[in-house]
A and B are shown apart, each in its own frame.
Chain A
Amino acid sequence: MNLAVLALAYARRRPLSTLLNVLLLAVGIATITLVILVSVELETRMQREAQGIDLVVGAKGSPLQIVLAAIYHADVPPGNIPLAAVLDLRRNPLVKEVIPLAMGDSFRGYRIVGTEPSLLTHYGTKLGAGAVWQAPMEAVLGSEVARVSGLALGGAFAGSHGLAEGGGDHGEAPYRVVGILAATGSVVDRLVLTGIESVWAVHDAHGHGGGGNHDDRDRQDAAQRPAASGAADHAHHGPHEKADPDDAHPEVAEHADREVTLALVKYASPVAAASLPRAINEKTVLQAASPAYESARLFTVFGIGADVVRALALLLVAASTLGLFVALTQALEERRHDLAIMRALGATRARIAGVLLLESLLLTGLALVLGLAAAHVVAANVGHWLPAAASLASGAAHWHREEIWVVALALAAGIIATVLPAWRAYRLDVAATLAEG
């Protein structure tokens, strides 16, 4: 016999109301925890992907779009930029490193990115097998791409036109797998990397002799953009066209100068942050975008949504605290005689109050365990219900420091609900209660 046994005996006596209170509190706790899991995971992910990249340049257009396309590979890029402008940037003394990215095609929904091996160095990515590309049409697969496609070293595949699935095949220009990257947990896992020359080669080939589907699409493009004189001519890019993946690579062959899509820039010194973005925006055909600024802006927008959900969850917790308070107050009324006889049997006032507090904390603790477990299970399985959010599941496996606040919140709820009933139990008039009929 101890207070916990007694508290359990009381809880067992009213299983339905006990269960209801525990579940209500657990749902509130699970919602808050889920919001924390998702937002923390998103934030760390966004920061990690952007780490070390001070600036992104692309065609004139939305800075947010440029950052999303270049770092998170989430949005389509606004257009192409002349390679010459990128090379100019590389010669700028304020710039330490420039990594060009050429996009336009995809393989089973995974983007094919033409770049330089320095991208691998930047992400700290190691090859799991094979080697880095040396010649055009040699490709290195991200770990997820390799796993999902089942392609092995030496395997061949053709890119599809456009960044989404369903574009026409570049069947005439197959890639050959020369390397497979080790898993990093970053966006690189979901990329196909190759030399920039490969991307040029694919589109050169199609420009000179390609046919079928692809050409039809090009004619449509031409109809939509009759005056298109170059990718840098952003004035002709209507908002609705941004969603058209073809925008990502106006035909390279039409221009003598080579083009790329985006470039990642690292500063040589912090001074660059003050002058370089403005200089790029005002004096070149390029648009500069700061990943830190743009992702913070994006997160602010997302944060409002998270705050709304969090507020609702807090409301749930508050409601269940009230429910717990009502249940405990009712229990106190029903148990006045029990508490009085316990005092007669030698229990001190503090112990009587402790019975109620312990009971409340047992229920709260149960709700806490259920709520935290539910949140982690939901987060771990989110990919099954929402494939787009699958990458968030990795956050479910470990505990986040922010969850300590959920624990504190639950315990606070349990204590707040108990204060008044416990105080009344403490003040109970034993003799009068025992004597009353």
Chain B
Amino acid sequence: MFALTAIEHRYDAALVLRVDAWTAATGDHWLLSGASGSGKTTLLHILAGLTVPTTGSVSVGGVNLASLSGSALDRWRGRNVGLVPQRLHLVGALDVLGNLALARYLAGLPVDAARARELLDAMGIGEFARRYPRQLSQGQAQRVAIARAVINRPALLLADEPTANLDDGQAEAALDVLRRQAEAAGATLVVASHDARVRAALPAVHALPPRAAVPA
């Protein structure tokens, strides 16, 4: 489903990430593991087309991301990638349904309130549809962020440290929701985490070496 080849990313001339090769099949669930600062978030952003690697090629769903530029890349991302950032970034001015509607709107898709409600119900947060992000608990907000990531049925679902700040029960539930929603959307799932609890749930692992170990 995606293929990374000879990726190197430098920040101010310092090499921060190297991936020689990593390929995933459609529907795969992957754990992207590595210590803090090993470049997990950067790699997720590269997969999402938010960051262009210094060298190397990125192909997602048969599209070479280097061939897309500017607004075309933005539109491709909106239709094909669901991202759950570590710090959720729900839009505070909008309620839960508004946040889901925003994701549809920005991807150029018609707002589908029925699907949004269905999704929230399936994730057990249907009753919070009219709440604003500041009125949600961490676990509830995380589910909303996951719902926002999957509402456009993306081909690639990316989650950055989804279990950070969650207790064991919540962490397990979050992973469960991610896997089930990825399956429901037919999406390839990549979870970036250094959390040992995630390793048990996602057997396929791509491990990044700690940054100090990246040869310059």
Binding site for B on A (CB under 8 A): 1-2, 5-6, 9-10, 12-13, 337-338, 340-351, 430-431, 434-435, 437
Contacts and interface: CB of A to CB of B under 8 A. Distances in A.
Contacts of B71: 348-350
A342 B102 contact: yes
Nearest to A336: B89
B93 A346 contact: no
Contacts of A340: 89
Contacts of A349: 70-71, 74
A345 B103 contact: yes
Contacts of B70: 348-349
Nearest to B95: A9
Contact of A434 (B89, B91, B94): B89
A245 B71 CA distance: 79
Contacts of A346: 74-75, 77-79, 106-108
Contact of B111 (A1, A6, A434): A1
B42 interface: yes
B179 interface: no
Contacts of A348: 70-71, 74-75
A351 B105 CA distance: 12
A340 B86 CA distance: 13
B42 A342 contact: no
A49 to B, nearest CB: 56
B78 A347 contact: yes
Contacts of B102: 1, 6, 342, 345
B156 interface: no
A340 B106 CA distance: 12
Given A346-B75, A349-B70, A434-B50, A341 B89 contact: yes
Given A344-B50, A344-B83, A1 B104 contact: yes
Contacts of B85: 341, 344, 434-435
Contacts of B26: none
Contact of A338 (B74, B92, B108): B92
A431 B74 contact: no
Given A338-B89, A348-B70, 13 more contacts: A2-B105, A10-B93, A13-B92, A13-B93, A341-B90, A343-B74, A344-B48, A344-B77, A345-B83, A346-B74, A346-B79, A346-B106, A349-B74
A1 B85 CA distance: 22
Contacts of B108: 346
A431 B50 contact: yes
Given A6-B102, A347-B106, A434-B50, A341 B74 contact: no
A153 to B, nearest CB: 69
17 contacts: A1-B104, A1-B105, A1-B111, A5-B98, A9-B94, A340-B89, A342-B102, A344-B85, A345-B83, A345-B106, A347-B106, A349-B71, A351-B106, A430-B50, A431-B45, A434-B45, A434-B87
Nearest to B110: A1
A430 B70 CA distance: 13
A337 B75 CA distance: 19
A5 B51 CA distance: 29
Interface of B: 41-42, 45, 48, 50-51, 70-71, 74-75, 77-79, 83, 85-87, 89-94, 98, 101-108, 111, 148
A2 to B, nearest CB: 6
Nearest to B46: A431
Contacts of B101: 1
In the A-B complex, the 3 residue pairs with the closest CB atoms? A346-B78, A1-B101, A348-B71
A435 B89 CA distance: 10
B74 A347 contact: yes
A341 B86 CA distance: 12
A190 to B, nearest CB: 58
Nearest to B90: A341
Contacts of A431: 42, 45, 50-51
A354 to B, nearest CB: 12
A10 B89 CA distance: 15
Contacts of A2: 105
Contacts of B79: 346
A10 B108 CA distance: 21
Contacts of A341: 85, 89-91
A337, A338, A340, A434 — which one has the most chain B CB atoms within 10 A of its CB? Answer: A434
B89 A337 contact: yes
Nearest to A334: B92
A437 B104 CA distance: 26
A83 B92 CA distance: 85
Nearest to A14: B93
A2, A5, A345, A435 — which one has the most chain B CB atoms within 10 A of its CB? Answer: A345
A338, A346, A431, A435 — which one has the most chain B CB atoms within 10 A of its CB? Answer: A346
Contacts of A345: 77-78, 83, 102-103, 106-107, 148
